[in-house]
Amino acid sequence: MEYHLKVPLSIEDITPLRIGDVVYISGKVFTARDEAHKRILESSLENMPFDLEGSAIYHCGPLMQEMEAEIWQPVAAGPTTSARMSAMTPQLLEKHNVRMLIGKGGMDNVADSMKGKCVYLAYTGGCAALAVNSITKVCNVHWLDLGMPEAVWVIEMDEFGPLVVGIDTEGEDLFRNIREKVNENIEKALR
């Protein structure tokens, strides 16, 4: 199936998604990598400079060019390896109603914590310049003290995709299924 969704997302928006489905997303998306995740988890809800209710977080360290004071132009916005954020994801999902994570390469041991709450979507690595075409506006940046790639960028996206559902709200994990099938085929070949 193919879906076109708009952020903020409700649980009803993401519940129909199944592994392998194709999604295009529009609306405000937050970028966040390792350091941003750590700061989000360290911050109290009252001290957060942004609201993650119904949000989509893109595991991305974009390259931005400052055109004028606080006016940014995206140069590249490709996905980073999502597995690096796996250990922090269960706590993130307990604390915030994030509905969608977007990144590259799948995530480890997070499917159970995503059940009934969140989906993981994969974007093709190496498409940093292509992803920029979906960014219509850089709305804001938070925590620039972490450095450009680690800051939280609020970007307006239009039909960002194609994204493939890698983990759905039922806990099905496309990447885990593929790994299991590959291992099964290797065992058969070695017999």
Using CA atoms, how far residue 9 sits from 18, 27, 101, in Å, is: 16, 10, 12
* DSSP result, 104-127: BS--SS-HHHHTTT-EEEE--TT-
Q: Which residues pair with 156 in a beta bridge?
A: 28, 137
Cα 14 from Cα 119, distance rounded (Å) = 7
Cα 147 from Cα 133, distance rounded (Å) = 23
Give the distance from CA 106 to its chain's centroid: 10
Indicate which residues carry an active-site annotation.
37
Q: What is the dihedral of CA 19, 22, 27, 30, to 10 degrees?
A: 50
Alpha helices (H) in 15-100, listed in sequence order? 34-42, 89-95
